[in-house]
Amino acid sequence: MALLNILQYPDERLHKVAKPVAEVDERIRTLIDDMAETMYAARGIGLAATQVNVHERVLVIDLSEEHNELAAFVNPEIIEKDGELVYEEGCLSVPGIYDKVTRAEHVKVRALGRDGQPFEVEAHGLLAVCLQHEIDHLNGHVFVEYLSRLKQDRIKAKMKKHERNNL
């Protein structure tokens, strides 16, 4: 397994729409493993392939404290959603930034698993928020785009300054 580099907002590559995975093969399983290792090392609960500059529809999530409930979603799609929930979100691609985002409280997602088999999951609360957040990444969107233009501009400036200071 390998640690992957996480793209930082406002990197334009975060806005690239991911392509569907044609086959869940050893390459995709290795990507899932590397993404999981990267997510755990960064102390995150979800990571989309777009964030590690792989523009294929793959994401991983693990909400457990023990890091023992990894879920991999290949070609995920939201097939149902309802309700409304406001949740304070953060993102490994926008470190140190947290803000409230309105999402659906319940989602039903269809995807392929690590084994290539189709499955569906119904999610509520944090898992629903996380799935929507990560699927947004696959569609080329970052959570800060739900915020006001003023907040987006401030976050961009802060991230660019942080990048300059770390060169």
Residue numbers in the known binding site are 91, 133, 137
3-state SS class at 148: coil
Contact of 84 with 76, CB cutoff 8 Å: no
Residue the block writes with tokens 């991911």: 18
CB 104 within 8 A of CB 111: no
H helices, E strands: number in the chain: 3, 7
Catalytic annotation, pick one of 37, 66, 122, 134: 134
Nearest CA to 21 out of 12, 30, 13 is that of: 30
Show binding-site residues for Fe cation: 91, 133, 137
Q: Is 134 a catalytic residue?
A: yes
- Residue 104's alpha-carbon distances to 77, 91, 126, 166, in angstroms, are 14, 18, 11, 37
Burial of 52 (0-12, 13-18, 19+ CB in 10 A): buried
Residues with catalytic function: 134
